[in-house]
A and B are shown apart, each in its own frame.
Chain A
Amino acid sequence: MEPTLLSLAADVLRRPLEVVERVAEQPALLPQVLPRLVLLALVGGGVFGAVTGMYRGGPQVLYAAVKMPLLLLIPPMIVLPAARALVALDGPALSGQRLATACLVGMSRTAMLSVALTPPLWLLYRTDLSHQSALAWMLGSLALVGLPGLITVVRAMFPAGSPRGSQLALVALLGLVFAQTGWLLRPFMSMHGTGYPLLCAVDHDIFSGLQVRLLSTREAPTDWDCANPLVLGSHR
């Protein structure tokens, strides 16, 4: 039976591995299921992004709503070949269909879980929260909802009893590319008193950014935001 968007969303949250198995057993379901999984990831990520952008408001709400789903969808595409090779080290090679389904189920699960975190996050962002704390809350929320998604991806790809090393390597790779993609797509929340940058010029990387912004005891070094922002809006 063809799943509705709602039933698919429920299955992705409750029994994600069954969704992957069902599509693997009935490839005819693929054309119906994949676009709906992408839609769930777009909507879920978009809502979370919009709430993140509300820290600053204005055009930032729209920018973050557009960029957050990209943050969920780009890294798996970069890591997919490596995932396939890691699985093939110790077992039969997986089909491209299974890989794509596993990734999309994991990402749409993360996107929907992120929606659940939006009310407390929105409430927090309505307080007098510093930019540094707001950023830390956003990263913490993403890590919290990203973990179940990553676990889903890994469990759907690797057969039971696969070596832990390969599974951990995939998690680490996905985490690394997620972090750097987030750094490239920043800012999701710009500081008050600055413009509304859509994107920043490519500079440094996530590691130096975290070192400067989160480990520093001084408030608000501007490096985290943008050295060379691409600004489409105006100052508030």
Chain B
Amino acid sequence: MSAITVSAPAPVVGAPARAALEAAGGFALLGVCAGLGAGAPYRVPSLALTALIVPLGAWVVTGLSVLVVHQFLDLDARPEDIAAALGQGFVRTGQLAASLAPVMLFMAATSDSRMAIACLLMGAVAACGLPATARQLRRAEPQSDHAGFRWLIRGWLLFTTLVGLRIGLDLVG
């Protein structure tokens, strides 16, 4: 009997560049907390960089593909709308990562399974952030029922996950 109803998320406040920087900071913060909580300050820069590069790289690489294929499919939304939806998704996901920093700090400081928890939380960020971005994309596209667009979204979800995993494995290796 909740009085609040489903509606589109509030638009990201502030200049897009600043919002994107804050989101990137959110990802890095998660890595910083993993390093600080583990009592390994010398690992903070590398963990922060890893936590930032994985989502940023995956978003940039696959985002460009989405823009290209979207235009190729000759759908209604303007490229700016698709880019804005991707950007909003990145910002929201970065905010989610930043909000998980207290949990990361708590778990890293009190647990032996720090790396497992860090991977779990990054996975949770991806598992919530990617579908949320997909929903943003569907809202941006008037022909969201178009079969090609549905496959585009599915492909984006799959390849963003795979590219993120590949970058993560490369960085860890």
Contacts and interface: CB of A to CB of B under 8 A. Distances in A.
Nearest to A162: B6
A17 B107 contact: no
B158 interface: no
B148 to A, nearest CB: 24
B124 to A, nearest CB: 5
Interface residues of B, number: 35
Interface string B85-101: 00000001101101111
Given A85-B96, A88-B10, A165-B131, A159 B2 contact: yes
Contact of A92 (B10, B128, B132): B10
For the complex of A and B, the 10 pairs showing the least CB-CB separation, nearest first, are A205-B111, A85-B99, A81-B99, A89-B132, A85-B96, A82-B99, A159-B4, A161-B6, A205-B112, A78-B102
Contacts of B25: none
A89 B99 contact: no
Interface stretch (A48-56, A169-177, A214-222): A169-177
A88 B103 contact: no
Main secondary structure of the interface of A (DSSP, over half): helix
A92 B4 contact: yes
B98 to A, nearest CB: 7
Interface residues of A, number: 41
Contact of A173 (B5, B8, B111, B124): B124
A210 B4 CA distance: 40
Nearest to B116: A207
A205 B106 CA distance: 12
Given A89-B9, A169-B128, A21 B3 contact: yes
Contacts, number: 113
B103 A21 contact: no
Contact of A169 (B3, B92, B93, B124): B124
Nearest to B109: A202
A50 B110 CA distance: 25
Contacts of A25: 3
A48 B33 CA distance: 34
B164 interface: no
A78 B37 CA distance: 14
A207 B7 CA distance: 39
Given A21-B2, A24-B3, A90 B96 contact: no
Given A82-B102, A172-B124, 9 more contacts: A81-B101, A91-B8, A92-B7, A92-B10, A155-B2, A173-B124, A176-B117, A180-B107, A208-B112
A200 to B, nearest CB: 11
Contact of A160 (B2, B9, B124): B2
A37 B32 CA distance: 35
A162 B132 CA distance: 11
